[in-house]
């Protein structure tokens, strides 16, 4: 047997055999079709299945695989966010602060930074320092948060959440949904009234949020240091003189003459210098107000005891006008109306303590006067004389002195003085000529003050406080406060509480009127370039739900 024949007779291996050998009598397939097949082969015309893809590792912040976005549309439509740059930065930042984080538009980095991005700790520190100056100057909590938010977004930090309370500022920045947040805080230790410094801080924030003005971090720090180092525009003796003029103007506003003007101015001047002395000795502000309230009341009691033909009530009322904490009251009510209840409660509690200090100081002087046999007439308010021209001039003098006490810029003093004269003219026309209740008349006059102040602030892209706080000076409830304290000193507690309640109602009317005027200007008045869709959302809740 030859070797090829022997090779053919060898049994074939399993790999060589196929399960589909052609039966006898069937021609084998061609050589190019003879392929090793399997019973699991895919029939012709079908594509092979795609290999399964492995699902990437998920995260707690990823949207679930089974989640489907809702397809319904809200009844009022999808709100369109249109934050035109022609609108003041205060309104733009308020709109975004009242939005949930997920609905805020992507920020446009205004200020140029290095390639590696902004220095997050330095931006947060700059933001807190700016917020500290604003809060210490008496600015409302919402405006402070808006300024802090504007600084952060201008330097590219979009996921920022500022938080402002009465003495604490904090801000949190989260780089992404999976990174740890960076949080910083700062405590306000001292408060001071300087509206010149407040205006300078607002100009700095306006320049930072302006895309046409380049302000680096170093430049912003330098300007902020200059604002801190700048001296007050008026020294202590000028402020004391302004306090005397304020009391004198207020005494003429409630029916006093030249002698009353001099007596009220002298009493307020002495009270202010005593308060400066107590401040230098480290006494709290409560005792400073108590000491400052004693000289005007003592001078009024002394004039009555000496049988001088003057109205002692006008002297004491003028001194009270110089001590009414109108600035803190307006800020506290504004914080409450905008939803910052903790800060509002703290501010109103501060107002209550300062008012109690004034009450104690006046009551001490009146109590000794009653013990000495001084007959003070609680019905002197009924002898009020209507002198429209003189009262308007006195209201403007009062407003001018109040603006100096608030350390306002000289360029704003004339405007706020005219605003105060308009406020008293409206009040006198409604109350004395029209016979409308003093609370309603005060609310309308304060509303006009807030409206004009907000218009001026929008025109200048500045804070509204320098244009409104001093203008409400003529509307402060000095006479109602005095007659309530006098009735209590004469053991007529019921009448005293009624008069003090009227004073509280007038104070609330002033605060609510100023805030309402500001809100009306934001609701209906728009600058060129602002569209109808650039509306302001309600703060916090809506209708209590």
Would you mind telling me the total number of residues written for the chain in this entry?
A: 545
pLDDT at 228: 86
Which among 530, 479, 520 has a CA at the least distance from the CA of 500?
479
CA distances from 83 to 148, 231, 405, 531 (A): 17, 37, 37, 9
pLDDT digits 0-9 by tens, 122-141? 899 999 999 999 988 888 88
pLDDT at 458: 75
pLDDT at 400: 92
Residue matched to tokens 């509280």? 504
pLDDT per residue of the chain (545 residues) written in tens, 0 to 9: 555 555 555 455 544 455 555 555 555 555 444 445 555 566 666 666 666 555 555 555 555 555 454 444 445 444 444 444 455 666 666 666 655 555 566 555 555 555 455 688 889 999 999 999 998 888 888 889 888 988 988 888 878 888 888 888 999 988 877 778 889 999 888 777 788 888 899 889 988 888 787 888 889 999 999 988 877 788 878 888 898 898 888 888 877 788 888 998 999 999 989 988 888 888 888 999 999 989 988 898 888 888 777 777 788 888 887 787 777 777 888 888 878 888 888 888 888 888 888 888 888 888 888 788 777 665 555 445 567 888 889 899 999 999 998 888 888 889 999 999 999 999 988 988 888 888 899 889 988 888 888 888 777 767 888 888 888 888 888 777 777 877 777 778 888 888 888 888 888 888 888 888 777 776 765 544 444 444 445 555 444 44
What are the backbone dihedrals phi and psi of residue 186, each rounded to the nearest 5 degrees, phi first? -150, 140
Residue pair 482/264 in contact by the 8 Å Cβ criterion: no
CA distances from 133 to 74, 130, 144, 199 (A): 42, 5, 9, 11
CA distances from 203 to 83, 195, 200, 293 (A): 20, 12, 5, 37
Q: What angle do CA 468, 471, 473 make, to 5 degrees?
A: 120
pLDDT at 280: 84
Measured between alpha carbons, how far is 514 from 519 in angstroms, rounded to an integer?
9
- Axis crossing angle, helix 312-321 with helix 258-280, rounded to the nearest 10: 40
Measured between alpha carbons, how far is 413 from 310 in angstroms, rounded to an integer?
32
Distance of CA 402 to the CA centre of its chain: 22
Helix/strand/coil for 447: helix
pLDDT at 543: 45
Q: Identify the DSSP state of 530.
A: -
Element holding 394 (H helix, E strand): helix 388-405
* Residue 307 region by backbone torsions, left for phi larger than 0, else alpha for psi between -120 and 50, else beta: left
- Axis crossing angle, helix 388-405 with helix 410-428, rounded to the nearest 10: 140
Q: What is the CA radius of gyration of the chain?
A: 38
Helix/strand/coil for 203: helix
pLDDT digits 0-9 by tens, 282-327? 888 899 999 998 998 889 888 888 877 777 778 888 888 778 777 7
Residue pair 134/343 in contact by the 8 Å Cβ criterion: no
Q: Identify the DSSP state of 380.
A: G
Give me the residues paired with residue 184 across strands: 171
Residue pair 232/215 in contact by the 8 Å Cβ criterion: no
Measured between alpha carbons, how far is 267 from 272 in angstroms, rounded to an integer?
9
- Axis crossing angle, helix 493-524 with helix 326-337, rounded to the nearest 10: 60
Q: Provide the residue ranges of all domains of the chain, joining segments of one domain with +.
A: 89-229, 236-524
Measured between alpha carbons, how far is 224 from 204 in angstroms, rounded to an integer?
8
Beta-sheet pairing, 160-164 with 168-173: antiparallel
pLDDT at 388: 82
Helix/strand/coil for 174: coil
Question: Which residues, including other chains, have CB under 8 Å from residue 288's CB and lie 6 or more apart?
Answer: 275, 278, 279, 357
Question: Which residues, including other chains, have CB under 8 Å from residue 7's CB and lie 6 or more apart?
Answer: none
Q: Look up the pTM and report it.
A: 0.71
Give me the residues paired with residue 182 across strands: 173
Helices (H) and strands (E) in the chain, counts: 18, 3
What are the backbone dihedrals phi and psi of residue 360, each rounded to the nearest 5 degrees, phi first? -65, -45
Measured between alpha carbons, how far is 242 from 408 in angstroms, rounded to an integer?
12
Q: Which runs of consecutive H residues, i.e. helices, occur in 212-340?
A: 217-229, 236-253, 258-280, 285-305, 312-321, 326-337
Helix/strand/coil for 172: strand
pLDDT at 178: 75
Measured between alpha carbons, how far is 213 from 415 in angstroms, rounded to an integer?
28
Which among 240, 275, 410 has a CA at the least distance from the CA of 354?
275
Which among 229, 223, 243, 343 has a CA at the least distance from the CA of 288?
243
Question: Which residues, including other chains, have CB under 8 Å from residue 21's CB and lie 6 or more apart?
Answer: none
Beta-sheet pairing, 182-187 with 168-173: antiparallel
% helix, strand, coil for the chain, step of 5:
60, 5, 40
pLDDT at 126: 92
Measured between alpha carbons, how far is 192 from 232 in angstroms, rounded to an integer?
11
């Amino acid at each position: 047997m030859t070797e090829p024949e022997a090779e053919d007779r060898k049994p074939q291996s399993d790999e060589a055999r196929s399960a589909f050998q052609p039966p006898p009598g069937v021609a084998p397939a061609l050589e190019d079709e003879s392929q090793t097949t399997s019973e699991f082969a895919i029939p012709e015309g079908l594509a092979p299945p795609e290999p399964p893809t492995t699902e990437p590792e998920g995260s707690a912040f990823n949207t679930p695989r089974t989640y489907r976005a809702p397809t319904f549309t809200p009844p009022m439509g999808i709100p369109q966010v249109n934050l035109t740059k022609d609108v003041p930065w205060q309104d733009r930042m308020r709109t975004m602060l009242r939005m949930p984080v997920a609905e805020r538009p992507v920020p446009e980095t205004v200020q140029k930074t290095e390639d590696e991005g902004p220095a997050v700790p330095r931006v947060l520190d700059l933001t807190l320092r700016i917020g500290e100056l604003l809060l210490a100057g008496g600015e409302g909590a919402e405006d402070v948060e808006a300024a802090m938010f504007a600084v952060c977004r201008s330097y590219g930090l979009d996921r920022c959440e500022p938080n402002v309370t009465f003495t604490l500022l904090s801000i949190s920045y989260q780089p992404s949904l999976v990174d740890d947040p960076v949080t910083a805080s700062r405590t306000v230790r001292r408060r001071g009234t300087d509206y010149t410094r407040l205006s300078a801080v607002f100009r700095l924030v306006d320049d930072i949020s302006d895309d046409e003005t380049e302000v680096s971090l170093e430049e912003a720090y330098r300007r902020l240091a200059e604002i801190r180092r700048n001296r007050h525009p008026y020294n202590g003796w000028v402020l004391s003189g302004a306090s005397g003029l304020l009391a004198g103007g207020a005494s003429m506003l409630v029916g006093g003459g030249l002698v009353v003007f001099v007596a009220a101015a002298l009493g307020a001047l002495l009270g202010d210098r005593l308060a400066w002395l107590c401040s230098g000795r480290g006494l709290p502000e409560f005792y400073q107000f108590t000491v400052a309230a004693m000289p005007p009341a003592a001078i009024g009691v002394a004039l009555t005891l000496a049988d001088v033909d003057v109205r002692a009530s006008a002297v004491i009322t003028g001194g009270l006008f110089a001590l009414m904490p109108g600035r803190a009251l307006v800020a506290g009510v504004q914080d409450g109306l905008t939803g910052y209840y903790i800060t509002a409660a703290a501010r109103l509690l501060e107002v209550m303590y300062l008012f109690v200090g004034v009450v104690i100081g006046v009551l001490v002087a009146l109590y000794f006067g009653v013990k000495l046999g001084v007959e003070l007439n609680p019905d002197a308010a009924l002898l009020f004389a209507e002198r429209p021209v003189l009262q308007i001039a006195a209201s403007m003098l009062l407003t001018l002195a109040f603006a100096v006490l608030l350390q306002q810029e000289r360029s704003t003093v004339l405007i706020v003085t005219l605003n105060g004269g308009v406020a008293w003219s409206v009040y006198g026309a409604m109350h004395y000529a029209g016979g409308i209740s003093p609370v309603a008349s005060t609310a309308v006059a304060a509303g006009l003050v807030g409206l004009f102040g907000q218009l001026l602030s929008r025109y200048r892209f500045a804070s509204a406080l320098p244009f409104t706080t001093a203008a409400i000076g003529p509307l402060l409830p000095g006479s109602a406060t005095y007659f309530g304290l006098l009735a209590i000193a004469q053991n007529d507690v019921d009448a005293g509480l009624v008069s003090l309640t009227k004073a509280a109602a007038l104070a609330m009317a002033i605060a609510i009127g100023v805030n309402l005027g500001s809100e009306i200007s934001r609701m209906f008045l728009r600058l060129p370039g602002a569209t109808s869709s650039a509306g302001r959302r309600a703060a916090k809740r809506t209708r209590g739900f």
